[in-house]
Amino acid sequence: MSIVEVKVPDIGDFKEVEIIELMIKVGDTIKVDQSLITVESDKASMEIPSSAAGVVKEIKVKVGDKVAEGSLLLLLEADGAAAGAGTASTPAAPAAAAPAAAAPAPAAAAPAPAAAPAAASGPVEVKVPDIGDFKEVEVIEVMVKVGDTIKVDQSLLTVESDKASMEIPSSHAGVVKEVKVKLGDKVAMGTVVLVVEATGGAASAPAAAAPAAAPAAASAPAAAPAAAPAPAAAAAPAVSQGSVETSKLAHASPSIRKFARELGVDLGKVPGSGQKGRITQLDVQNFVKGVMAGTTAAPAGAAAPAGASGGGNFNVLAWPSLDFSKFGETELLPLSRIKKISGPNLHRNWVQIPHVTQFDDADITDLEAFRVETNNANAKNKDAAKLTMLAFVIKASVAALKKFPTFNASLDANGENLILKKYYNIGFAADTPNGLVVPVVKNADQKSVSQIAREMTELSLQAREGKLKPTDMQGATFTISSLGGIGGTHFTPIVNAPEVAILGLSKASIKPVWDGKAFQPRLMMGTSLSYDHRVVDGAMGARFSVYLSEVLGDMRKILL
C-alpha cells in the first residue's frame, strides 16, 4: 500500500476553473478513470477522472475552489499495479491523465474551419470549431432558430461527450437562414451547423476555437420577464456538498447547472424531461414550483438564509385537482413559454418578499401639456423621438432613487447587508403577444428624456418581435409597470427580486383638486409603489412616493 497524490490533469487552455461538484468522499474505493469532481468554465463543464485506483484517504478541495492543471485533488491509498502507475504519475499528473481524454478543454491552436475574411458578407456556413480530441459529440440543445440575429461568439448549440458538455459559439454575425443540425445529431470539427446571412466579420481563429467564449444566451429568456436574477448562488455549495450521491447523476448542460445552483436546487432530485432524461430549464423551474407549493420535497441542505435568498416549503395546501369538464365545456390552452418561465419567479417573489404598497396620485397636468406641445413641435422632424409619459417617469424615478438610495439596492445573500448600487438601470414592463417581458434602460441617469424615449421604442419593438437578448433584460435596479394605456386607478405590482421596489402607473384622469381657494380640474395619475418591507419602512416608502409625485408635478425640481 502507498499514498498517491491525485492531481488535475492537462485541461487545455483553461487556467482556473471552478469546482461545482464533488463525486467522492473519504473512504470511497475508486477506479482508474472514475470521475472525481466536476469543474466548469463559463462555457463548458467537465468531469476530472482519477489517475489511480484505491481508497480515498483525504480530499484536498471543496465546492467553489478554483483549480488548474497540477492542482492537488486528493490523497489515495493505492494498491498493486494501480499504485505504481499512480505513484509514477504523481510528479507529472498531466502525463498520467493523458489516457483519460476527459479534459474537454479544446486547444485553440488551429484556426476554426468556419473562419472567413473579416469583410465577409452574404450567406456563410458556420461550422463546428476545433473541439480538441473529441471525434463526434452529440447535439443536446439548439439555441437558435431561423430568423434569429446572432453575434460573433454567441452560443449556438450545446454538445456533449461521455465526460463533458460544452457550448459551441458562432464564428460569424448575421441572420440565421438555415439550421443544419437537430437534437441527437453527431457533430465534429468542421460540421456545418447553420447558414447565416453575414453582416460583419468573422471571429478570430483563437476565439472561434475556444468553447469558453461569451456568456451563454442558452434557451433562457429566463433572465427575462419577471425572471429577474435568481437568488444568490451562495447557497449552491451547501446543496452540492450535501448531495454528492444524487447530484453526480444529473444530466444537464453548463447553463442549466449554473441556473440550478443560483436557485439552490440539487439537480440529482430533478427529473429530466429532455432527450435521454436530460434536465431542462423548465424541469428546474417546475421542481422549484413544486417545492414552493409543498408538493415536492425540498432538497436537503437547500434551505437558504431568511434574507435575500430565503425560501423553502411553506406547507400550503396542495393545488385542488378537479375535472372541470363535468361542469361544462372546456378547452386546454397551453401557457406561453414566457409565462411558464416567469410564473415560478413571480410566485417566489410574492411569497418570500413582505410586500407593502404605497398608493398616491401625481398631478401631471403641466407635464402632460409640455409633452404634447413638444411632440407637436417635433412632428415634422423625423429624427426626433416621440416623448412618452413613461420616459418622463423614468427620469423622475432616477431623481427619487438618488434622493432615497435605499430603493436602488439589494439585500445580500445572508440578508444582513444592503448592497447600494451606484448605477441606475430602469426596467419597464412591456406587453407582448407571448406575455410580459422587462427590457432595461441602462444608465438612465446619463440619458435625456428624448434618449430614454428612443431607447424604449427600440426595446419595445424588439420585445414584440421576440428579438430581445438576455442582456437587454438584465441588471435592472428598479422597475416600472405601466397600465396607463389600459385603465384602472391603482394596483399592486410584485417586486422583481433582487430589486427592492417597483412602481406601478395607472391611467390618468381629470379630478377636482383643492388649491386652497377652490377646486381646480387637474390631470391626476395613480401611482402604486410596492417595496420590500425588510429594506424599506413605511415612512421611507411614503417619502419616496411623495417626492416622486412632486417631481412629476414640476420636473424643474430635478435640476436643483
CA neighbor of 287 nearest in space, from 264, 267, 270, 305: 270
| Known active-site residue 490 | no
Measuring CA to CA, which residue among 315, 294, 497 is closest to residue 415? 497
Task: Assign 548 a pLDDT band (cuts: 50, 70, 90).
Answer: very high
**Cα 103 from Cα 10, distance rounded (Å):** 7
Catalytic one among 251, 347, 355, 533? 533
The half-sphere exposure of 362 on its side-chain side, counting CA atoms within 13 A, is 34
Tell me if 2-96 shares its fold with 122-217: yes
Distances (CA, A) of 529 to 309, 474, 546: 22, 21, 11
Express each pLDDT in 151-163 by its tens digit: 888 888 888 776 6
Domain ranges (residues) in the chain: 2-96, 122-217, 226-322+334-339, 353-559
Instruction: Indicate the DSSP class of residue 292.
Output: H
Residue 278 exposed, middle or buried by CB count within 10 Å (0-12, 13-18, 19+): buried
Q: Output the pLDDT for position 220.
A: 37
Quick one: DSSP state of residue 146? T
Fold category of 2-96 in CATH: OB fold (Dihydrolipoamide Acetyltransferase, E2P) (2.40.50)
CB 40 within 8 A of CB 11: no
Report pLDDT digits (tens) over 20-73: 888 899 989 999 888 898 887 766 677 888 888 999 999 999 988 889 888 999
Strand, helix or coil at 371?
Answer: helix
Class for the domain spanning 226-322+334-339: few secondary structures
Confidence at 119, pLDDT banded by 50, 70, 90: very low
Give the C-alpha distances (Å, rounded to integers) separating 48 from 36, 42, 248, 271, 483: 6, 17, 12, 25, 53
Chain mean position to CA 222: 5
**Highest mean pLDDT range out of 36-50, 325-339, 446-460?**
446-460
Q: Letter for the amino acid at 103?
A: A
Instruction: Output the CATH code of domain 122-217.
Output: 2.40.50.100
501-505 and 478-482 as β-strands: parallel, antiparallel, unpaired?
parallel
Domain 353-559 is found in CATH 3.40.309.10: no
Q: Which of 188-202, 215-229, 534-548 has the lowest mean pLDDT?
A: 215-229
Secondary structure (3-state) at 141: strand
DSSP string for residues in 394-433: HHHHHHHHHHSGGGSEEE-TTSS-EEE-SS--EEE-EEET
**What pLDDT, on a 0 to 100 scale, did the predictor assign at position 80?**
54
Residue 406: C-alpha distances to residues 93, 474, 552 (Å): 51, 20, 20
- The neighbour count for residue 321, using CB atoms within 10 Å, is 5
Q: Which three cell numbers stand for residue 22?
A: 464533488
Q: pLDDT tens across 428-444, in order? A: 998 888 778 899 999 99
Contacts of residue 27, Cβ cutoff 8 Å, sequence gap at least 6: 55, 56
The better pLDDT of the pair 358, 307 is held by 358
- Predicted pLDDT of residue 327: 93
Residues 224-243 have a mean pLDDT of 38
